[in-house]
Structure 1
Amino acid sequence: MEALERQARVAEAVRRVSVPLVRLLIDEGIGYQGFLAQLKPVFIEQALAQIAASGEKDTDSAVSLRSGVQRKEIKAWRRQPVRSARPVRRSIPAEVFARWISDPALRAADGSVRPLPRAGAMPSFEALARSVNQDVHPLSVLNELIRLGLARLEADGDAEMVALVRTGFVPRQDWEALIELFVDNLTAHLATAAGNLRGHAPAQLEQAVYAGGLTAPSAQRLAALSRELWAAMLNAFLTEATRLHAQDGGRGDRLVRLGAYFHDGPVAGDEAQS
């Protein structure tokens, strides 16, 4: 395939992928010109990264050639750079949540995640939280999980227990946390897909399966099945990840993310018959 044809195909593919993102922008009142300003630093940073990787000299002309951004705008950005990426922040509540659902010692005989006494020695929520981090008080972690709608307090006789409300870390009551998950998940997914498209070796897992011509009840059944399959995969992944983290002593430089999604929408054209 010729270079110009390949560029046209990639641009068309990115345009198609951007449709739901543009719909989100419009729903939130963000128009074309407003979003262009957000894209400019991304193009500059990625052009700089490519130049650094190739060992070429970093000049405004080189950055402009790769990014398509005018040199005067690149000069202005260098004087006051606006970074497009945020550092990954450690979430202690998320780590406590992950440890809770992955530790076999915190599971009941039937394999379900069991409620924990609020205080006391292991197994208790207090001991679990302290095993993850000594600096944040277990009560603060508990209050955050309750605020996010992920845990609740229960009475068991005279004992106060902490129980999980769900086994997936989706903080639906916290919009800020949701949008950070949106960024993290979609960035990792797109990075994997783009890397595979560019021929990076080894190719990383990025697969999907679909079924068309279904009724709404059938789609709902598959949605329920997908959640069951994800719960099993999540448990297996976190169990092994916890073991490997302990084996590596937490000293590695790799961040691994495994994701899943389920999409249910109308079928276009003759796909309904496929």
Structure 2
Amino acid sequence: MRLPTLPPSLLPALTHVMRPLVRLMLKKGVSYTCFANLLKEIFVDVAEHEFRLDDKPSTDSRISLLTGVHRKDVRRLRAKVSERAAILPEDISFGAHLISVWLNHAPFCAAPGRPLPLARLASMGGECSFDSLVARVSKDIRARVVLDEWLRLGIVRMDEQDQVHLEAMAFIPQRGFDEKAAYFQHNLHDHACAAVHNLTEDGAPFFERSVHYDSLSPAGVEQLREAVKVEGMLVLNGFNLLAAELEEQDVPPADARQRITVGLYFYTEPNPPAVTKPTTASSP
């Protein structure tokens, strides 16, 4: 079996990409040994399920050759039950759906992307209430349970008139590490999948573009941050509305359904000037 040639630019790129992930692990107490064992499992799992020949199960020897993991470890890891987690936990998927309805469907919004404050109880607001919003999506979940959780996460707030206001224009918890970690898993995974596809596959690439400057003032950065916050949400809300309409108008058979992720992000950090090496003059 011929192994692919390693592009010289790949390892430096992987090193750079891994730095923020290592920073997260060190901050949260994940040691090198723990992550190395996890990485070994992932290498074996990906090689077994995504690098088969003629769709036949691979041998331990072939997986060992592909991954560099010792054959004894390959055998042990393949015997483990693979835990393939859902893309997003069910409660978060439910919450995202609920907010999509609030943002895009009457009587819960003044116009698409302009959610209205909702009376907490149907006895006060009728159809334009938080009770009715939750009932629109599910008859099995009590609105009070959702409201208490969303107040905890900072997604909504209550006013003096007992109305519920949407604080996050998308389901982005302000508090709650587990909820934020679920979105970290989902968004970073799908961005990485798009980038890896564009590096390794033929055919049409996934859209992946960015704008980057390296000499902005702090005031300029803050102006851009606010512009991305406002205008970026308008763009995402537009895609959200289109996706919701397409999902209702063009229902595919169960075996032909596809999921999508559209993302937008902003990041800034200090950019110190490059260190120039002093020149040395040679004697004539």
TM > 0.5: yes
Equivalence map 1:200-219=2 (5 Å): 200-219=202-221
Relative to structure 1, is the Cα distance of residues 136 and 248 closer, same or farther in structure 2, using a 3 angstrom cutoff? farther
1:267 to partner: Cα distance: 2.0
Partner of 2:229: 227
Give TM-score scaled by structure 1 length.
0.87
Structure with higher helix content = 1
Unpaired stretches in structure 1, ≥5 consecutive residues: none
Relative to structure 1, is the Cα distance of residues 190 and 227 closer, same or farther in structure 2, using a 3 angstrom cutoff? same
Equivalence map 1:143-158=2 (5 Å): 143-156=148-161
Partner of 1:176: 178
User: Does residue 257 of structure 1 match 2:261?
Assistant: yes
Deviates more, 1:241-250 or 1:63-72: 241-250
Partner of 1:68: 68
Counterpart CA distance in 1 for 2:12 and 2:205 is: 23
Partner of 1:188: 190
Relative to structure 1, is the Cα distance of residues 53 and 145 closer, same or farther in structure 2, using a 3 angstrom cutoff? farther
Q: Percent identity?
A: 26
Relative to structure 1, is the Cα distance of residues 115 and 200 closer, same or farther in structure 2, using a 3 angstrom cutoff? farther
Partner of 1:4: 5
Look at both structures and tell me which one has the larger radius of gyration over its CA atoms. Answer: 2
Relative to structure 1, is the Cα distance of residues 105 and 230 closer, same or farther in structure 2, using a 3 angstrom cutoff? farther
Give TM-score scaled by structure 2 length.
0.85
1:30 to partner: Cα distance: 2.5
User: Matched residue of 2:44: which SS?
Assistant: helix
User: Matched residue of 2:157: which SS?
Assistant: strand
Tell me, yes or no, if the aligned pair for 2:134 and 2:143 is still in contact at 8 Å: yes
Counterpart CA distance in 1 for 2:49 and 2:193 is: 15
Counterpart CA distance in 2 for 1:110 and 1:37 is: 47
Partner of 1:116: 118
Deviates more, 1:130-139 or 1:173-182: 130-139
Relative to structure 1, is the Cα distance of residues 193 and 110 closer, same or farther in structure 2, using a 3 angstrom cutoff? closer
Counterpart CA distance in 1 for 2:190 and 2:243 is: 18
Relative to structure 1, is the Cα distance of residues 31 and 77 closer, same or farther in structure 2, using a 3 angstrom cutoff? same
Partner of 2:22: 22
Which of 201, 211, 217 aligns to 1:199? It is 201
What's the RMSD between the two structures over aligned residues? Answer: 2.4
Partner of 1:93: 95
Counterpart CA distance in 2 for 1:111 and 1:9 is: 43
Tell me, yes or no, if the aligned pair for 1:93 and 1:144 is still in contact at 8 Å: no
User: Matched residue of 2:114: which SS?
Assistant: coil
Counterpart CA distance in 1 for 2:230 and 2:26 is: 34
User: Matched residue of 1:4: which SS?
Assistant: coil
Counterpart CA distance in 1 for 2:68 and 2:56 is: 18
User: Matched residue of 2:193: which SS?
Assistant: helix
Cα displacement string for residues 153-184 of structure 1 (whole angstroms, at most 9, x for unaligned residues)? 2243xxx3211123132212111101111111
User: Does residue 137 of structure 1 match 2:142?
Assistant: yes
Counterpart CA distance in 2 for 1:132 and 1:122 is: 13
> Which residue identity is paired with 2:40?
K
Tell me, yes or no, if the aligned pair for 1:150 and 1:165 is still in contact at 8 Å: yes
Partner of 1:267: 271
Relative to structure 1, is the Cα distance of residues 14 and 54 closer, same or farther in structure 2, using a 3 angstrom cutoff? farther
Cα displacement string for residues 22-52 of structure 1 (whole angstroms, at most 9, x for unaligned residues)? 1222222323222101101110111012333
Partner of 2:163: 161
Partner of 2:278: none
Cα displacement string for residues 71-92 of structure 1 (whole angstroms, at most 9, x for unaligned residues)? 1001111222453x41232222
Tell me, yes or no, if the aligned pair for 1:150 and 1:166 is still in contact at 8 Å: yes
Deviates more, 1:35-44 or 1:144-153: 144-153
Tell me, yes or no, if the aligned pair for 2:120 and 2:164 is still in contact at 8 Å: yes
